[in-house]
Structure 1
Amino acid sequence: MKILVTGGAGFIGSAVVRLAVSRGHEVVNVDALTYAACLANVAPVADSGRYAFEHVDIRDRAALDRVFAQHKPDAVMHLAAESHVDRSIDGPGAFIETNVNGTYYMLEAARAYWTAAGRSEGFRFHHISTDEVFGSLGETGKFTEDTPYDPRSPYSASKAASDHLVRAWRETYGLPTVLTNCSNNYGPYHFPEKLVPVVILKAISGQPIPVYGDGGNVRDWLYVEDHADALLLVLEKGAVGRSYNIGGENEARNIDLVRTICATLDELRPAARPYAEQIRFVTDRPGHDRRYAIDPTRICTELGWRPSVTVEEGLQRTVRWYLENESWWRPLLERDGVGERLGVA
């Protein structure tokens, strides 16, 4: 297929781009190159004849129309989004502009292209979303595709709104859409303001390792390359109009995850004292959801997918990657807001 990927210079988007090109697909990477994007993320495939880059903001409808007309994609994978909860607390406007308005422009550009091309039954618009739209769980239970939406942060509310738009464009206009909601991703090329890279980089620099609240918040951790594999599978074989929850089946409390990373660093780069001694509990994020957990039964039974990487193996790979790729992450520490405590307004 020829796949138009939005946000392909970001963390998850670049994993999709690299995997899709390696499997023989043609990829058009549409990215505005905002603060969290990095073209080095797609350097492994940048010289491939199956890869093209378009420096375009998804809020620019005229530019999107040009991209669709020029490249004539068979499918869209829409990943472009503002995604950092802390930043959404400090500046929610950017999340509404990109995640809500940007998704609207993408849907309209895709619909116009699809209609002009004869409403092909093979076309797909795959919208990639998050489990955060479902709100917070108690000590038991898991999110299914039928869990009611209950977003608690500006970020998750903006993603919930974009999910509703995608479903509306399917029901009202017949646009062939599929939708996925994923759990927390981690792995190589993760922008260094998210939990896993923050812990790694704070630890090896000898700085305090911040843990929000009591560290008891639970997340389901999904290795990013497993996620990319699932996303391509849903694009190729998922039922139109269907949504699929994608989880890593790796639940862990934040404090336990942090301690595992510290223990991994103790093994791979021993210091004078255990890295866990640098852990410091800090003021919690406002409205911090207590627990997320995904039930991936639908994608497992209907499409035959399961995560292949345990959180222990994935963290080992991830820590090793950061230790070996300082030339990638070091310049990113200079970008706006990175390293600062955000989201305490």
Structure 2
Amino acid sequence: MKVLVTGGSGFIASWIRKELAARGHSVLVMDHQDRRQNLAPDEEFFLGDVRDATAVTEAAAHVDGIIHLAAVLGTQETISNPRPSAETNILGSLNVFEAAAQYGLPVVYAGVGNHAFRLVGTGCYTITKSAAEDLARMYNLYRDGGRITIVRPVNAYGPGQSIAKPYGTSKVRKILPALTCRALIGSPIEVYGDGTQISDCVYVEDVARAFVTALEHTAVNGPTEKPVEVGPLTSVTVNDIAAMVAGHAAAVTGRPVVDLVHLPMRPGEIPNAVVSSDTSTLQQIGMTAADFVPLAEGIRRTVDYYATQWLPGWLQGMQVSA
């Protein structure tokens, strides 16, 4: 298949593109920023925004399937400024689903692991991503050509994930880079809330395998009956994750294990929250979470990546500024 990957320059997308190539599929990357310099030699690039229905329809005309990842991310960010996420995550998804229905294309849509939070109050990211899930179900039920499978990963992590300020340039804080960078430089790890909340993490390579497998399944069998939830078999707390990161960072750097510092929860975060997955839904596409990278191993790989790819540049920058 030739597969259109919307938001194709992002973190999860980069791993999905590798997985597609490994399985013999060709890739058309669609992104609203011109990042074609990051493409593999055999990948194609389409400059366009999913909010532009004409651009999406044109891109869809040249492929056999779509993995739809393009979205405006962030919890606090979408509370303070909800319009961009509403426009991209709802209207952009509508454009993708409409174009796919026009050409009879299978689609895998990236849902959100904390979808249940919309019932108790959360950021516009979860609200809008969940609204697009409702649109997907509508297309599958009532529109000719509706062939959309929803894949809901929990917190994807791994090498290459962007780093938020002050340690990087990203505007959105992700849990593993945030914990890892502080631990590697010897600063206390900041945990929002008491850390007993469940926020499951899944290694990005496993997420990529789930998305590509779901697309292949949908192309042959149609959409799955239920959303495919991608996460670990066993849940852990945020404190557990932070402790693993701190321990491996200490082993890598030779410094003492850093402390955990608890901060007040931010808007959109829910005390005692549980973000986990029903991993039995993976059976719909012939997968099992038992084959996923264990959390301790995934954290080891991730901390090692930032220790070699990020830490030297950070330390050099600190020396220059001093």
Q: TM-score range by the shorter chain?
A: 0.7 to 0.9
**Residue number in structure 2 paired with 1:130:** 112
Q: Residues 297-325 of structure 1, C-alpha deviation per residue, up to 9 Å, x if partnerless?
A: 13236513334200000000011111121
Aligned counterparts of 1:18 and 1:173: Cα–Cα separation in 2:
32
Aligned counterparts of 1:124 and 1:103: Cα–Cα separation in 2:
14
1:303 aligned to 2:286? yes
Aligned counterparts of 2:86 and 2:158: Cα–Cα separation in 1:
27
Q: Residues 110-139 of structure 1, C-alpha deviation per residue, up to 9 Å, x if partnerless?
A: 223x1xxxx4xxx30111111211239xxx
**Is the contact made by 1:133 and 1:151 (CA closer than 8 Å) also made in structure 2?**
no
**Residue number in structure 1 paired with 2:167:** none
Aligned counterparts of 1:315 and 1:258: Cα–Cα separation in 2:
10
Query: Aligned to 2:274, what secondary structure does the other structure show?
Result: coil
Matches within 5 A, 1:163-242: 163-174=133-144, 175-192=146-163, 193-238=173-218, 239-242=221-224
Distance 1:205 1:314, change over 3 A: same
Matches within 5 A, 1:191-340: 191-192=162-163, 193-238=173-218, 239-242=221-224, 243-271=227-255, 273-275=256-258, 277=259, 279-289=260-270, 290-300=273-283, 303-306=286-289, 307-326=291-310
Amino acid at match of 1:274: V
Instruction: Please tell me the root mean square deviation across aligned C-alpha atoms, in Å.
Output: 2.4
Aligned counterparts of 2:200 and 2:97: Cα–Cα separation in 1:
29
**Residue number in structure 2 paired with 1:6:** 6
Aligned counterparts of 1:110 and 1:156: Cα–Cα separation in 2:
23
**Residue number in structure 2 paired with 1:336:** none
Query: Aligned to 1:179, what secondary structure does the other structure show?
Result: strand
Q: How far does residue 287 in structure 1 lie from its aligned partner after superposition?
A: 3.9
Aligned counterparts of 1:127 and 1:182: Cα–Cα separation in 2:
11
Unaligned runs of 5+ in 2: 164-172, 318-322
Aligned counterparts of 1:178 and 1:301: Cα–Cα separation in 2:
11
Aligned counterparts of 2:287 and 2:182: Cα–Cα separation in 1:
39
**Is the contact made by 1:100 and 1:162 (CA closer than 8 Å) also made in structure 2?**
yes
**Is the contact made by 1:222 and 1:250 (CA closer than 8 Å) also made in structure 2?**
no
**Is the contact made by 1:135 and 1:150 (CA closer than 8 Å) also made in structure 2?**
yes
Q: How far does residue 163 in structure 1 lie from its aligned partner after superposition?
A: 0.4
Aligned counterparts of 2:73 and 2:17: Cα–Cα separation in 1:
18
TM-score, normalised by the number of residues in structure 1: 0.80
Distance 1:304 1:6, change over 3 A: same
Aligned counterparts of 1:230 and 1:305: Cα–Cα separation in 2:
10
- The aligned length equals 298
Query: Aligned to 1:222, what secondary structure does the other structure show?
Result: strand
Q: Residues 75-119 of structure 1, C-alpha deviation per residue, up to 9 Å, x if partnerless?
A: 00001112221212222111111111111111222223x1xxxx4
**Residue number in structure 2 paired with 1:16:** 16
Q: How far does residue 207 in structure 1 lie from its aligned partner after superposition?
A: 3.9
Distance 1:308 1:39, change over 3 A: farther
Amino acid at match of 2:156: N
Q: How far does residue 285 in structure 1 lie from its aligned partner after superposition?
A: 1.6
Using the aligned pairs only, state the percent identity. Answer: 26
**Residue number in structure 2 paired with 1:159:** 129
Q: 2:90 aligns with which of 94, 97, 100?
A: 100
**Is the contact made by 2:184 and 2:311 (CA closer than 8 Å) also made in structure 1?**
no
Q: Residues 141-197 of structure 1, C-alpha deviation per residue, up to 9 Å, x if partnerless?
A: xxxxxxxx7663321111110101111122221311111112111111112121110
Query: Aligned to 1:105, what secondary structure does the other structure show?
Result: helix
Distance 1:329 1:195, change over 3 A: farther
Unaligned runs of 5+ in 1: 137-148, 334-345
Distance 1:33 1:305, change over 3 A: farther
Q: 2:52 aligns with which of 41, 47, 60?
A: 60
Aligned counterparts of 1:159 and 1:183: Cα–Cα separation in 2:
13
Amino acid at match of 2:29: N
Matches within 5 A, 1:29-44: 29-33=29-33, 43=38
Distance 1:151 1:169, change over 3 A: farther
Aligned counterparts of 1:151 and 1:52: Cα–Cα separation in 2:
40
**Is the contact made by 1:222 and 1:249 (CA closer than 8 Å) also made in structure 2?**
no
